[in-house]
Structure 1
Amino acid sequence: MNQDKPLILVTNDDGISAPGIRTLIDVMSKIGTVVVVAPDSPQSATGHSITINDTLYINKISKENAPILEYSCSGTPVDCVKLAVNEVLKRKPDLCVSGINHGSNSSINVIYSGTMSAAVEAGIEGIPAIGFSLLDYDWNADFEQIKTFIHTISLEVLEKGLPENIVLNVNFPKLKEKEIKGIKICRQAKALWIEKFDKRKTPQGKDYYWLTGEFVNQDKGEDTDEWALANGYISIVPVQFDLTAHHAIQQLNTWKWNE
């Protein structure tokens, strides 16, 4: 590996063959030395799950002397980062990028996202990390329109670093490059999924369920990721993995816990 270039770990949750990660690899290869460790099959909505009750496999799929090392992993996106840091890479990477996700990871979606969980895991390891998502679920989405922005954002993080224990959640609207108005630093919108289960029967008469739902944005603020995306901006939300509700500690300390 070229020690003069930044070492960049690339992963995702849509699987190593997804067009989104292929685009991300292409952009990162113009910035530094790229190593890819990504799931061998789609792992969307796996959140921060890890494999503890099954074996894990990792396979080198790049050819000998290829400029980019690529490995497929049988586990989750978080497994991919753990294996990359502990088994594949000889040193800690300078940057971890996850994505480009086929679909939104704005607002509450960050909780369920395998893409963002991979970035968070890298952050836990002390690696500057970014999760990238495009608001287009089409497998053949046009990722070319956002390559310049990804390049710029990644270089900024490499140059300036990130605050301690923070990773970036970057979402792109489904627009042409010239239609995107710019980048906004946002907070996560207060929104949720109103979920329903479509109950069906197998040919044998056994009940099964298919999860459906409606995304409801309850937040009218103009400083949120949902507002930015709806108004033609790229949203960047700084995400922390300390889940402590610090504002609640004082109130809870007034309760009679020890009486």
Structure 2
Amino acid sequence: MDGTAIADPRPSLMVTNDDGIDAPGLRFLVDLLVAADRYRVLVCAPDSDQSGVGHGITWRRPLSAKRVEIMGATAFAVSGTPADCASLGISGKLFVGTIPDLVISGINIGSNCGYHIVYSGTVAGAREAFLYGVPALAISYNWKEGKSNVHALRLAADACLPLINAVLNELKTKTYPEGSFLNIIVPTDVANHRDASIRMRQLKQENHVVPKEHVRRLDVGLVDRSTYRQKASGRGIGHRAKKSGYCAKDIGVAESTGRLGNRLQERTMCRRIR
């Protein structure tokens, strides 16, 4: 549908979401990626708001994809769910001959952490790409009524750009953790959440119980000036990190059984705010 494949040495990033292709979070992120001039930017997003649809797919009716003009990007609006969009976008059919190097779902208006990831269309867009072997990120902004405004979404996109570049670098050097996708939560007061450091933790959750001995710190190679100690709990490390002023990235990995409730591996990377 995209006409002809374009020979472009830059990495291909595909952006999707669940708020719809006209949502400000997606548009700010796409504008930022285009302005960086370091990526080939592709967009495949729902043509209407699909918030809360989870990992639903369309199968009783055909999907349609309509070309949308977004300066500097190749974009399509799809009559389906975020999972539909991700599946179509990575198929090599919509963007002829191109399979994205990285799928980014967001930026969602509202936090998606802990068990909310089961219901989130934003997370589902990233998960769908992950299930087919394409690296993926979900990005959500912790919107608070009375405190947040649309401009904060632009700041959230700017805050996530270094993380996107870090993932691309790890993919290039083959150091990106296999069998995982990242769920990034940007704090509400993003304007004051600068000069951040990174911590990564990995925990194994079985039947919603997280023994302390299963929690370990992973060295990400960045040194910070503060520490964050996470008490193991079944509530979810992402929720506790966000409450403590972190940008938490919950990485959920479904095993071959597909039953997230029984066995779930979760890695969490936290950006400490100073």
Distance, in Å, in 1 between the alignment partners of 2:197 and 2:114 is: 19
Structure 1 regions of 5+ residues with no counterpart? 191-218, 248-259
The answer to whether the aligner puts 1:9 opposite 2:22 as a matched pair is: no
* Stretch moving more, 152-161 or 6-15: 152-161
**From 94, 106, 121, the counterpart of 1:88:** 94
**From 41, 56, 64, the counterpart of 1:34:** 41
What does the per-residue CA deviation read over 1:68-122, in whole Å, with 9 as the maximum and x for residues that have no partner? 1110000000111111122212221111000000101011100001111110111
Q: What percent of counterpart residues are identical? A: 31
What does the per-residue CA deviation read over 1:194-216, in whole Å, with 9 as the maximum and x for residues that have no partner? xxxxxxxxxxxxxxxxxxxxxxx
Distance, in Å, in 1 between the alignment partners of 2:159 and 2:193 is: 13
The answer to whether the aligner puts 1:144 opposite 2:154 as a matched pair is: yes
- Aligned residues of 2:144 and 2:188 also touching (Cα < 8 A): no
In structure 2, the partner of 1:72 is 77
**From 115, 122, 127, the counterpart of 1:115:** 122
Distance, in Å, in 1 between the alignment partners of 2:58 and 2:121 is: 13
Structure 2 regions of 5+ residues with no counterpart? 1-5, 209-231, 265-274
- The alpha-carbon distance between structure 1 residues 34 and 228, as it changes in their structure 2 partners (threshold 3 A), is same
Distance, in Å, in 2 between the alignment partners of 1:158 and 1:220 is: 31
In structure 1, the partner of 2:191 is 177
AA of the residue aligned to 2:200: I
In structure 2, the partner of 1:134 is 141
**From 57, 60, 69, the counterpart of 1:62:** 69
- The alpha-carbon distance between structure 1 residues 120 and 220, as it changes in their structure 2 partners (threshold 3 A), is closer
Distance, in Å, in 1 between the alignment partners of 2:263 and 2:20 is: 36
In structure 2, the partner of 1:208 is none
AA of the residue aligned to 1:224: I
- Aligned residues of 2:14 and 2:42 also touching (Cα < 8 A): yes
- The alpha-carbon distance between structure 1 residues 61 and 147, as it changes in their structure 2 partners (threshold 3 A), is closer
- The alpha-carbon distance between structure 1 residues 246 and 19, as it changes in their structure 2 partners (threshold 3 A), is closer
* Stretch moving more, 30-39 or 131-140: 131-140
Shift of 1:187: 6.4
TM-score, with normalisation over the residues of structure 1?
Answer: 0.76
In structure 1, the partner of 2:111 is 104
AA of the residue aligned to 1:102: I
- The alpha-carbon distance between structure 1 residues 48 and 226, as it changes in their structure 2 partners (threshold 3 A), is same
- The alpha-carbon distance between structure 1 residues 222 and 60, as it changes in their structure 2 partners (threshold 3 A), is closer
- Aligned residues of 1:131 and 1:168 also touching (Cα < 8 A): yes
Larger radius of gyration: 1
- The alpha-carbon distance between structure 1 residues 223 and 11, as it changes in their structure 2 partners (threshold 3 A), is closer
In structure 2, the partner of 1:240 is 253
AA of the residue aligned to 1:62: E
- 3-state SS in 2 of match to 1:45: coil
AA of the residue aligned to 1:112: Y
TM-score, with normalisation over the residues of structure 2?
Answer: 0.72
- 3-state SS in 2 of match to 1:143: helix
- Aligned residues of 1:173 and 1:230 also touching (Cα < 8 A): no
- Aligned residues of 1:184 and 1:233 also touching (Cα < 8 A): no
Shift of 1:147: 2.8
Shift of 1:184: 4.3
What does the per-residue CA deviation read over 1:26-69, in whole Å, with 9 as the maximum and x for residues that have no partner? 23222301010100000011111110112211100127xx5211
The answer to whether the aligner puts 1:124 opposite 2:131 as a matched pair is: yes
- Aligned residues of 1:2 and 1:33 also touching (Cα < 8 A): no
Poorly superposed stretches of 4+, deviation over 6 Å: 187-190
In structure 1, the partner of 2:167 is 157
- Aligned residues of 1:129 and 1:168 also touching (Cα < 8 A): yes
